[in-house]
A = this chain, B = another copy of it.
Amino acid sequence: MAKKIKKIGVLTSGGDAPGMNAAIRAVVRACAYYHTECVGFYRGFQGVIEGDFVALNARSVRNILPYGGTILQSARSREFMTKEGRAKAAAKIKEAEVDAVILIGGDGTFRGGLALSEEHGIPCIGVPGTIDNDISGTNFTIGYDTALNTVVDAIDKIRDTASSHNRLFFVEVMGRDAGFIALNSGIGAGAEEILIPEEDLGLERLLNSLERSRRSGKTSSIVVVSEGDKIGKNVFELAEYVKENLPYYDAKVTVLGHIQRGGKPTCFDRVLASRLCVKAVELLMDGNRDVMVGLMNNDIVYTSISKALKTEHTVNKDLLRISDILST
């Protein structure tokens, strides 16, 4: 029978995402509600290894709900990648009398948690928190909706100046190896073209499309390019290539960069984080372990982490077709 959980640790790891504070708050408040102790580890697994943690009660997380970033900070720990590092981490967790850990992050974070569980018997629950939305077992990850709105807001601004000057803009967005952000922000911002790693449509097609666009009377165009795009050129080379081939275009590049990771979380991300993390605590109280929580069809569900890690969350390629229709 599962050991009774009396103290839960929580950490944020990997790239930070808006809504991580909402998630921490929900873990802490749910622990308080269920009369369970809670501690927060700083800087992800690195803080675990260093025994750098803090006791958290309902008042500790007052007022953090609307803020971007993570009060527990995040990091990528190289030491934790080693067996020795994980042994150190496990020792610190036991020393702190922490019975289980809730991990807020992406697949790297979940892999780390699983290793802790398998090698040292420490139960963990994964909460998908990343702007990239590249986690299986959930329709949406925490931070993704906020990042989409940040990107769309930025492209709306770029559209203003593109229209005023008849310009072509290449806008690079984040997303690692997945095109979720590019595809959805591209449709949301009415981009004329969207380039994602999942689908290499070729440079030829891009030139044709831009030329058709221009002939149809469009005087400015926006091309959204995912950072992981596999077209064989980076966004600056791409712009150069288009300039050479379509010389009437005054092509400019904007790399949106780290603004996509920050900012106040949207209502969607706050509610998502709140629901997922209450569930994460309740799953632990009920004796579950090594699962990740997710949102499917607007319901909170959970899957085994190992299964989630084996499955890929694939973009809906039909959205490329929608984008083509809408940029008619």
Interface residues of A (CB under 8 A from B): 12, 16, 18, 20, 25-26, 29-30, 32-33, 43, 58-59, 63, 65-70, 73-75, 139, 145, 148-152, 154, 156-166, 169, 184-185, 187-190, 216-217, 252-255, 257-264, 266-268, 270-271, 274-275, 278, 296-298, 316, 319, 322, 324-328
The interface residues of chain B lying within 8 Å CB-to-CB of A58 are 216, 328
Q: By the criterion CB–CB under 8 Å, are A165 and B326 in contact? A: no
Given contacts A148-B268, A157-B260, 8 further A-B contacts (CB under 8 A): A30-B326, A65-B189, A67-B160, A145-B268, A160-B263, A188-B267, A188-B270, A254-B259
Tell me, in angstroms, the Cα distance from A6 to B45 when the chains sit together: 45
Q: By the criterion CB–CB under 8 Å, are A164 and B73 in contact? A: yes
A-B pairs, 8 with minimum CB distance:
A157-B262, A160-B262, A68-B160, A297-B297, A69-B160, A188-B267, A16-B164, A161-B261
Q: By the criterion CB–CB under 8 Å, are B75 and A165 in contact? A: yes
Q: Is the interface of A mostly helix, strand, loop or mixed?
A: helix
The interface residues of chain B lying within 8 Å CB-to-CB of A165 are 16, 73-75
Tell me, in angstroms, the Cα distance from A155 to B296 when the chains sit together: 28
Q: By the criterion CB–CB under 8 Å, are A69 and B163 in contact? A: yes
In the assembled complex, the CB of A35 is this many whole angstroms from the nearest CB of chain B, namely 11
Tell me, in angstroms, the Cα distance from A33 to B327 when the chains sit together: 9
The interface residues of chain B lying within 8 Å CB-to-CB of A188 are 267-268, 270-271, 274
Given contacts A184-B271, A187-B274, A278-B322, A266 and B298 within 8 Å (CB-CB): no
Given contacts A165-B74, A187-B274, A274-B322, A267 and B148 within 8 Å (CB-CB): yes
The interface residues of chain B lying within 8 Å CB-to-CB of A70 are 164
Q: By the criterion CB–CB under 8 Å, are A252 and B263 in contact? A: no
Q: By the criterion CB–CB under 8 Å, are B263 and A266 in contact? A: no
